[in-house]
């Protein structure tokens, strides 16, 4: 079962005993809606009246009337419960306030989906009898609820697979990372398949073992260093020739 969702509205007033006094008395009204089912069938509306930090009187839609928790609250609850118009208005808040706003929130946020971005990379090369490790990263997807499957020659892999939990980014998006240990074989096809509500069909990314990412980075760095070395050497040679051309030799 999904965790309960809460919609709330706060109204806070301060009543000071003396004009200009730093301390005062706080009266607040706190209305909240609690539900967990997608169809909002278990919606509960609660209306709290609070003095300082204590609840004085409360209306709960599951009870259907006011309940007092202090001497003043009991008197207020008795008076309000005797007024049919007040009770009818409070009971109607489940539909008018709670479900109405919950539906708006779900249509604006909860029902939206964002397809994941998927990246397949090499974490460790095979060496000394140790297997190679690939990582499949799915990130910036919403909502949570995603399936990552490794494939060898289009057949799901059940062993040598470890995955993280679905990690929240803190900005509504999620990420997940899955690792596969394997021994490279000639002609073997390795893929990462990701299935999510934001995708019309599972997304499959194939691994290209011709040149691992780490090796591509090494080559790129080496090539850049070589080009820089050639440029520096050429500049030095030109500078030397210019100096030599302006030099006069005097016989001794």
pLDDT per position as a tens digit, 116-154: 999 999 999 988 888 999 999 999 999 889 999 999 999
Instruction: Show the domain range for 131.
Output: 117-213
Share of the chain above pLDDT 70, in %: 74
Q: Do 30 and 76 share a domain, yes or no?
A: yes
- Domain holding 92: CATH number? 3.10.320.10
Asked, for residue 9, whether it belongs to a domain, the answer is yes
CB 157 within 8 A of CB 151: yes
Residue 237 and residue 32: Cα distance in Å, rounded? Answer: 79
Q: Do 14 and 78 share a domain, yes or no?
A: yes
Q: Which of 110, 114, 112 has its CA nearest to residue 138?
A: 114
Range in 52-66, 78-92, 99-113 the model is least confident about: 99-113
Q: Do 103 and 121 share a domain, yes or no?
A: no
In 53-164, alpha helices (H): 71-81, 84-93, 100-105
Residue 134 and residue 182: Cα distance in Å, rounded? Answer: 8
Mean pLDDT across 54-64: 95
Q: Do 128 and 91 share a domain, yes or no?
A: no
Q: Which of 30, 91, 83 has its CA nearest to residue 55?
A: 30
- Supply the pLDDT for residue 126: 85
Range in 52-56, 78-82, 184-188, 210-214 the model is least confident about: 210-214
Cβ-proximal residues to 55 (8 Å cutoff; 6+ apart), any chain: 48, 49, 69, 73
pLDDT higher than threshold 50 for residue 189:
yes
- Supply the pLDDT for residue 172: 86
Asked, for residue 234, whether it belongs to a domain, the answer is no
Asked, for residue 220, whether it belongs to a domain, the answer is no
Cα–Cα distances in angstroms (integers) from residue 152 to residues 138, 160, 203, in the given order: 19, 12, 15
Asked, for residue 95, whether it belongs to a domain, the answer is yes
- Supply the pLDDT for residue 231: 72
pLDDT category at 232 given cuts 50, 70, 90 is confident
Overall number of domains in the chain:
2
Q: Which of 110, 140, 155 is the last residue of a domain?
A: 110
Q: Do 123 and 104 share a domain, yes or no?
A: no
Q: Do 152 and 77 share a domain, yes or no?
A: no
Asked, for residue 105, whether it belongs to a domain, the answer is yes
pLDDT category at 69 given cuts 50, 70, 90 is very high
Per-residue pLDDT tens digits for 104-123: 887 776 678 899 999 999 99
Residue 148 and residue 176: Cα distance in Å, rounded? Answer: 9
pLDDT higher than threshold 80 for residue 59:
yes
Asked, for residue 17, whether it belongs to a domain, the answer is yes
- Domain holding 154: CATH number? 2.60.40.10
Q: Which of 87, 110, 133 is the last residue of a domain?
A: 110
């Amino acid at each position: 079962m999904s965790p309960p969702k809460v919609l709330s509205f706060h109204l806070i007033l301060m009543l000071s005993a003396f004009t200009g006094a730093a301390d005062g008395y706080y009266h607040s009204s706190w209305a909240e809606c609690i539900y967990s089912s997608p169809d909002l069938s278990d919606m509960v509306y609660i209306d709290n009246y609070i003095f300082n930090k204590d609840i004085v009187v409360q209306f709960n839609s599951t009870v259907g009337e006011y309940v007092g928790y202090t001497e003043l609250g009991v008197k207020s609850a008795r008076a309000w419960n005797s007024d049919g118009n007040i009770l009818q208005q409070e009971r109607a808040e489940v539909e008018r306030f709670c479900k109405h706003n919950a539906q708006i929130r779900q249509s604006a946020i909860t029902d939206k989906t964002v397809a994941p971005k998927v990246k397949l990379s090499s974490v460790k090369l095979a060496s000394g009898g140790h297997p190679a490790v690939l990582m499949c990263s799915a990130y910036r997807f919403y909502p949570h609820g995603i399936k990552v499957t490794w494939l060898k020659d289009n057949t799901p892999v059940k062993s040598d697979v470890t995955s993280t939990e679905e990690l929240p980014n803190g900005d509504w998006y999620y990420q997940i990372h899955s690792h596969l240990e394997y021994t490279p074989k000639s002609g073997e096809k390795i893929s990462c398949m990701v299935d999510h509500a934001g995708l019309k069909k599972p997304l499959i990314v194939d691994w290209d073992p011709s040149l691992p990412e780490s090796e591509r980075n090494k080559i790129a760095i080496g090539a850049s260093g070589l080009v820089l070395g050639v440029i520096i050497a050429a500049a030095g040679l030109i500078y030397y020739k210019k100096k030599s051309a302006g030099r006069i030799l005097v016989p001794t």
